[in-house]
Amino acid sequence: DIQMTQSPSTLSASVGDRVIITCRASQSIETWLAWFQQKPGKAPKLLIYKSSSLESGVPSRFSGSGSGTEFTLTISSLQPDDFATYYCQQYSDYRTFGQGSKVEIK
């Protein structure tokens, strides 16, 4: 099984901050990585797929990068609507999610 490890688990930030979340795979997944945003009581929402492709309708302040085993999700200027939990997902071999990174208000 491919394991996905996210860091940090929790992040405190302010509106306007640049936020970076990291996801590490236990083995190479090339660029088969997606990022999801989830708010309490809601379904996850797809943000990024194939490491850096922005899903239609997702604001351009979200960006993804990386390949192999190291990946990042960057929010260039945090907005009030962005306080949520973020999950990475590998889809190189079946699917595995990271444990989540919660972005809280500082």
Partner 1 sequence: QVTLRESGPALVKPTQTLTLTCTLSGFSLSTSEVCVSWIRQPPGKALEWLARIDWDDDKYYSPSLKTRLTISKDTSKNQVVLTMTNMDPVDTATYFCARLLTSIGVEDSWGQGTLVTVSS
Instruction: Select 17 or 100, whichever has its Cβ closest to partner 1.
Output: 100
Nearer to partner 1, 67 or 100 (CB): 100
Q: What single DSSP character describes residue 55?
A: P
Pairing between strand 70-75 and 62-67? antiparallel
Q: Residue numbers of the site for partner 1 (CB under 8 A)?
A: 1, 32, 34, 36, 38, 42-46, 49-50, 53, 55, 87, 89, 91, 94-100
Q: Which token pair is 69?
A: 């085993």
Q: Are strands 10-13 and 101-105 parallel, antiparallel or unpaired?
A: parallel
Task: Kindly state the smallest distance separating residue 84's Cβ from partner 1, in Å.
Answer: 14
CB of residue 41 to partner 1, shortest distance in Å: 9
CA of 13: how far to CAs of 84, 95, 102, 105, in Å?
11, 30, 10, 5
Rounded to a whole number of angstroms, the minimum distance from the CB of residue 19 to partner 1 is 19
